Amino acid sequence: MSQHDLDFAVAAATGESPSEIHRRGFSLADPSEAQFDPEPTDTSPAWLDWDQNDSVEPERRFRSRRKTQTK
């Protein structure tokens, strides 16, 4: 499949124009590369471990007010 054929196939599937698909840079992935990522990222995964989160003492932002005794 050529780049031209790929652009037209993606355009037909998405409803975009072939020129827009070409501008966005679609390409065929090499099936021999199991970890293929055309735009690798160094950010951490977007998940939260609630068990780890619950084990951390929350940060106190305000000092507690001392109660004065009234007689």
Q: Judging by beta carbons within 10 Å of its beta carbon (0-12, 13-18, 19+), is residue 71 exposed, middle or buried? A: exposed
pLDDT on residue 56: 67
Domain residue ranges of the chain, discontinuous segments joined by +: 1-30
User: What is the per-residue pLDDT across 14-64, written as a single tens digit (0 to 9) for each?
Assistant: 999 999 999 998 887 776 766 666 666 676 667 777 787 777 676 767 666
**pLDDT over threshold 70, residue 65:** no
20 phi, psi to nearest 5 deg = -65, -40
